[in-house]
Structure 1
Amino acid sequence: MSTKLTPGKLEGLKAVSDKRGVIAAAAMDQRGSLRKSLAKEKGVADVPDSALIEFKELVTEVLTKHASAILLDPEFGLPAAKRRNGKGLLLAYEKTGYDAATPGRLPDLLDVWSVRRLKEAGADCIKILLYYTPFEKSHINDLKHAWVERIGDECLAHDIPFFLETVGYDVHGESEKSLGYAKRKPEIVTGSMEEFGKARYGVDVLKVEVPIQMEFVAGTRAFKGEQAYTRAEALEHFRLAASSTHKPFIYLSAGVSNPVFIETLELAAESGTSFNGVLCGRATWKDGIAIYAKHGARAFEEWLNTVGVENIENVNKALKAASSWYEKVGLSPATV
């Protein structure tokens, strides 16, 4: 079952993909979390906007030489967008974080932006982050469903691809790093993929978490001693999640280290899932935050050109197991 892509959506997807039709994109749209991390490493209460802008420029300039595209935010990332080495551009449309005082982790859009404006700013694709779990109260999820429908329709009206990133959470407030959450995560990821793969949302690519927590998979290098799944069970969770949608989907790195993300992609490959690439941020540049904060731009640039490039090349090697999204939209590479 494939979805026929409109010309604008097809062009946008091709712009952020490699020749094979695999999305090998870097992510640099962190805002609030990046600001906090930079301030912490610098030992100060806050850092100026200029630090976020410069950090994004450096990451973009170096890493897009080895990526098919970059994901940026329009708040601090537009100067970086000019330094993306001719690669594709995804722009984030949501505000950073969520209001912790309101239950349900409800999302919000950037105030002075619209799909029209993001497209005018050079976006090839639009990205939205949504905190979501099928186990949330139905009235909260109903608000989220309507919100995604509106964005899907807006992207359809402007004929631009819509990437929806879903990140799970625990409705009871338990840590997402706990063993209990690790056991529930496969259902959360699979349920989210199943829901937003429905035609009514107009999502073109699902940007998803892997359906397991690596440190709880027995028999992996990342395993830390507490078991939520055997290796065979983990592989089956990958397959179940992948089979829950006909849409193209890519994995996000969710802040894990580069070695853990590489092992995760190896597990995805072993499971035989038809994943279509990655949007990988912190697994490539996170360890450079301390370098930039303590030693400045030049030292960070040197780090990016060595360790950062090595990190992204590790991801690219693991992406040999990824499948083209062409088949999922009813196209053959020869016709694209």
Structure 2
Amino acid sequence: MRLSEGKRKRMEALANRAGVVAAAAMDQRGSLVSAIAKGRGVSKDQVKPADLTEFKTAVCKVLSPHASAMLLDPEYSLPALKQVARGTGILLAYEASGYDNTRPGRRPDLLPTSSVRRLVEQGAHAIKVLIYYTPFDAPEINEEKHAFVERIGAECATLDVPFFLEFVGYEEGKDEKGPEYAPKKPEVVARSIAEFSKDRYGVDVLKVEVPVNLKLVERARSFTGPKIWTREQAKEAFRKAASAARKPFIYLSAGVSNEEFTESLELAAESGVNWCGVLCGRATWKEGIPVYAQRGVKGLEDWLSTQGVKNIGAVNSRLGAAKPWYSYYASESAAPLR
């Protein structure tokens, strides 16, 4: 594989000195509205855009010095860019929040007033897009999603900017965090990684789910039951998913607790897989939402300065086993990738 000069430079801006992506995600929109509304005991329409901007700005101000990059959105986060620490990279989300619920398949859409060019002009070192994806969907659904990703990949290539693709598995009518879906999850993750590793999509970094639910892994600290996997079976699921990757991949936290996500990273390390970092959001700051809802931005900043910093530090301390993103290019540093 080769990487263009522009993409290489921007990737260097997103990773730490070891070449590992230690990024924090703050691009949540619809889910953040719901959580703030719940914390205040009000309806969602009483949560204003200014509330989202205020929350995101506080997170950037306090946590960005501890992250190699921040993932933000152009809808509510642009004022927060001013608070991102010097030397911390910027990813901007391109997709609209949520998905099309008027027809089957959780089909994605892009923000109507955004483009890769505009996101780069707004400060992005890289573009991130989220899709909901399962290889078990009907071919006509997945072909639409494949073409969607191809178009974004081509747009990123034209602007010479890295493309981070996040894919989240699902099964209609099932709880993706429950025991019914669990046996299928490792295959969904592995086959999705294999698909979007193909060069035709132009993806530079895969943002992937942990392939097992630790609450269902025997002898995990997070175990609540029922048992779906032994610890060895869980490690094999990590290896199978990683073996499908032909591009650098990083783990997403998927809204689990900080304790569960850090344990997931420990298991990835035990498995010996070639992961390249994290893009971790709610596992770092979600417990600050009720604090913000009840005590405002000053209370949130106080919480972030203590527990939030502790949480991101716990994630960062597990990144020693991660490999540099450029290891997928058979290189010992980013410099030769020209």
* TM value normalised by structure 1: 0.98
Q: Given the alignment of the two structures, is residue 141 of structure 1 paired with residue 136 of structure 2, yes or no? A: no
Q: Given the alignment of the two structures, is residue 226 of structure 1 paired with residue 226 of structure 2, yes or no? A: yes
The CA distance in 2 between the partners of 1:167 and 1:80, in whole Å, is 26
2:16 is aligned, of 3, 15, 18, to 18
Q: Given the alignment of the two structures, is residue 200 of structure 1 paired with residue 200 of structure 2, yes or no? A: yes
Query: Secondary structure of the equivalent of 1:278?
Result: strand
The CA distance in 2 between the partners of 1:210 and 1:157, in whole Å, is 31
Partner of 1:79: 79
- 8 Å CA contact retained: 1:21, 1:324: yes
The CA distance in 1 between the partners of 2:243 and 2:59, in whole Å, is 34
The CA distance in 2 between the partners of 1:202 and 1:329, in whole Å, is 15
- Give the deviation of 1:332 after TM superposition: 1.9
Cα-to-partner distance string for 1:227-284 (whole Å, 9 max, x where unaligned): 1110000000000000001210000000000000010000000000110000000000
The CA distance in 1 between the partners of 2:266 and 2:147, in whole Å, is 36
Query: Secondary structure of the equivalent of 1:333?
Result: coil
* TM value normalised by structure 2: 0.97
Query: Secondary structure of the equivalent of 2:166?
Result: strand
* Superposition map of 1:286-297 within 5 A: 286-297=286-297
Structure 2, gaps ≥5 residues long:
none
Identity score, percent: 56
- 8 Å CA contact retained: 1:256, 1:282: yes
- 8 Å CA contact retained: 1:68, 1:88: yes
- Give the deviation of 1:300 after TM superposition: 0.6
Partner of 2:37: 39
Query: Secondary structure of the equivalent of 1:169?
Result: coil
Count of matched residue positions in the alignment of Structure 1 and Structure 2: 333
The CA distance in 2 between the partners of 1:88 and 1:328, in whole Å, is 21
Q: Given the alignment of the two structures, is residue 244 of structure 1 paired with residue 244 of structure 2, yes or no? A: yes
The CA distance in 2 between the partners of 1:242 and 1:213, in whole Å, is 16
- 8 Å CA contact retained: 2:14, 2:68: yes
- 8 Å CA contact retained: 1:20, 1:333: no
- 8 Å CA contact retained: 1:4, 1:330: no
- Give the deviation of 1:327 after TM superposition: 1.6
Quote the RMSD (CA, aligned, Å). 0.9
Partner of 1:318: 318
- Give the deviation of 1:329 after TM superposition: 2.1
- Give the deviation of 1:224 after TM superposition: 0.7
* Superposition map of 1:1-336 within 5 A: 3-45=1-43, 46-86=46-86, 87-171=88-172, 173-333=173-333, 335=335
The CA distance in 2 between the partners of 1:102 and 1:294, in whole Å, is 38
- 8 Å CA contact retained: 1:95, 1:108: yes
Structure 1, gaps ≥5 residues long:
none
Cα-to-partner distance string for 1:112-161 (whole Å, 9 max, x where unaligned): 00000000001000000010000000000000000000000000000000
Query: Secondary structure of the equivalent of 1:296?
Result: helix
Cα-to-partner distance string for 1:49-103 (whole Å, 9 max, x where unaligned): 1000000000011111111010000000111111111210000000000122221
- 8 Å CA contact retained: 1:74, 1:92: yes
The CA distance in 1 between the partners of 2:101 and 2:234, in whole Å, is 32
Which 4+ runs in 1 deviate beyond 3 A?
none
Residue 320 of structure 1 aligns to which amino acid in structure 2?
G
Query: Secondary structure of the equivalent of 1:180?
Result: coil
- Give the deviation of 1:334 after TM superposition: 7.2
